[in-house]
Amino acid sequence: MGKKNTAQAPLTPAVLHILLALSTGERHGYGIMKQVLADSQGKAKMGPGTLYGSMGRMMEAGLIRESDKRVDPEMDDERRIYYELTGAGRAALEAELQRYRGVVAVAEGRLAHGH
């Protein structure tokens, strides 16, 4: 995933779900995992290997970044690393959603005309 083509190329499901999970604010790894599960109605189950592997590539591509290391008041007293979207990450998410809208519009048009 190179910096140059990230905004144009279709995103992998894992990357899309992580961007979506971070679109409402910064989260730590476990928080992202829970949000992905909630966003996908339990269909996208992501383990730590997939989650952190994808996040590594996303950080390299400048889509997300570490924001802070602090305690999550809803959990234990361990400090956790939080991640947040960058401007490029938000742009990539918007471009992907636009692409989806285009595909849905084409599909709906064809189904409506019975092709």
Q: How many angstroms separate the CA atoms of 108 and 99, rounded?
A: 14
Please, which residue, 2 or 114, has the CB nearer to other proteins?
Answer: 2
Q: How many angstroms separate the CA atoms of 5 and 61, rounded?
A: 9
* CB neighbour class for 110 (10 Å; exposed up to 12, middle 13-18, buried from 19): exposed
H-helix segments, the chain:
13-22, 29-39, 48-60, 87-112
Please, which residue, 76 or 114, has the CB nearer to other proteins?
Answer: 76
Distance in Å, CB of 48 to other proteins, minimum: 5
Please, which residue, 19 or 33, has the CB nearer to other proteins?
Answer: 33
Pick the binder of other proteins from 16, 22, 44, 55 (CB under 8 A).
55
Site string for other proteins, 71-90 (x = CB under 8 A): ----x--x-xx----x----
Give the interface with other proteins as residue ranges (CB under 8 A).
28-30, 33, 47-53, 55-56, 59, 62, 65-66, 75, 78, 80-81, 86
